[in-house]
Amino acid sequence: MQGNIACAEGALAAGCRYYAGYPITPSSEIMEHLSNRLPENNGIFIQMEDEIGSICSMIGASWAGAKAMTATSGPGFSLMLEGLGYAVMTETPCVIVNVQRAGPATGQATRPGQGDIMQARWGAHGDYRIIGLSPWSVQEMYDLTIESFNLAEEYRVPVILLADEVVGHLKESFVIKPEVEIFNRDNTITDKPFGTTADDGVPPMPIFGQGAKLLVTGSTHDEFGIRKVADPNVQDKLVNRLCRKIDNHKEKICKTESYLVDDADYLFISFGISARSSYAVIKQFRKEGIKAGLLRLKTIWPFTDDIIKRVANNCKVIFVPEMNRGQLVLEVQRALCNKQVVSIPKTQGEAIYPSEIYNEVKKYIK
């Protein structure tokens, strides 16, 4: 099965019952598949007039009680950023799939890229946090879509699945487990749907029609939802809780996988399809007797300094292969400021090949 279809099936397995989207290469298969599969499963599919309408209608559906999703690629994701900020501010659970292509602007519509990593984290205005996951296989297009919904529901935050054209269009077999773990939001009616006693808490989220008389607003609001657009303390409290509810739960949110890292002199830190090429490279180096290992970030945002510091502790050089001019490497360099961290970028609008990584890294291995 193709990665994009696996993503759509993962959404259904997670309980997604609302999809709004706009056609864009290379993500359209997700929408096409759900246009058939959602109505079969008592779900709603709607093709909106643009990506702004898509994300806004998804947020509306989420407040009406739906597990909701949209999928897009670079240009559409750019349009969705105002809605992303709104979802953060109103603590609306939702999933945005970005099947990344080569940019900027229209770029190369059918070619892969990983250039939206920083945009996903910082693209909307203001201070905020989101969760961003990165699948490296068709299996993970399925698994991490389910994980995206669970995290969105648990933390009341938009979750971005940062796929790319390669995993989106990759075809390989994968396993559908008969039972998957599902997290459903707490719909308890409360008079404080936007506040908790803890400064890093996630409040319950009543939905429309329950009689909760909800005041949902993208303007700064107190715990009751009442707009407080000039109160410095309310602004401070809200923005910090929105960030802390993610930051303070990094340990639970952040998922990584390590391959041959225990004795590694040379550590690769990568994500998505770039990590898959890196995996082939470390196996080659091992054959040659060179101690190379790979730390793969399944969760890109929030960024896990702790795990990276721990794994990289005894490594000599760290390499960060990625299909952009070097974005994630900036975070790795920040986290490992006392180490030699080398960027292995690729900006040719195609997958980064193991041979390319191998040849570049070879220069650093003595």
Residue numbers at the binding site for other proteins (CB under 8 A): 17-18, 20, 44, 46, 48-50, 52-54, 56-66, 68, 82-83, 86, 208-219, 225-227
What tokens appear for 283 in the block? Answer: 């196996």
Contact 220, 238 (CB under 8 A): yes
Residue 210 DSSP symbol: S
- Strand partners of residue 202: none
Nearest distance in Å: CB 228, other proteins? 11
Nearest distance in Å: CB 208, other proteins? 4
DSSP per residue over 275-340, as a string?
HHHHHHHHHHHHHTT--EEEEEESEEES--HHHHHHHHTT-SEEEEEESSSSSHHHHHHHHTTTSE
Contact 90, 49 (CB under 8 A): no
Rank residues 219 and 355 by Cβ distance to other proteins and give the closer one: 219
**Phi and psi angles of residue 26, each rounded to the nearest 5 degrees, phi first:** -105, 40
Rank residues 224 and 259 by Cβ distance to other proteins and give the closer one: 224
Rank residues 40 and 263 by Cβ distance to other proteins and give the closer one: 40
Peptide bond into 26 cis (omega under 30): yes
Nearest distance in Å: CB 177, other proteins? 27
| Residues in Cβ contact with 215 at an 8 Å cutoff, skipping those fewer than 6 apart | 221, 224, 225, 226, 227
Rank residues 176 and 215 by Cβ distance to other proteins and give the closer one: 215
Residue 19 to residues 11, 77, 233, 254, Cα–Cα distance (Å)? 10, 15, 37, 26
Rank residues 56 and 300 by Cβ distance to other proteins and give the closer one: 56
- The 3-class secondary structure across 14-31, one letter per residue, is HCCCEEEECCCCCCHHHH
Nearest distance in Å: CB 153, other proteins? 16
Rank residues 48 and 180 by Cβ distance to other proteins and give the closer one: 48
Rank residues 86 and 136 by Cβ distance to other proteins and give the closer one: 86
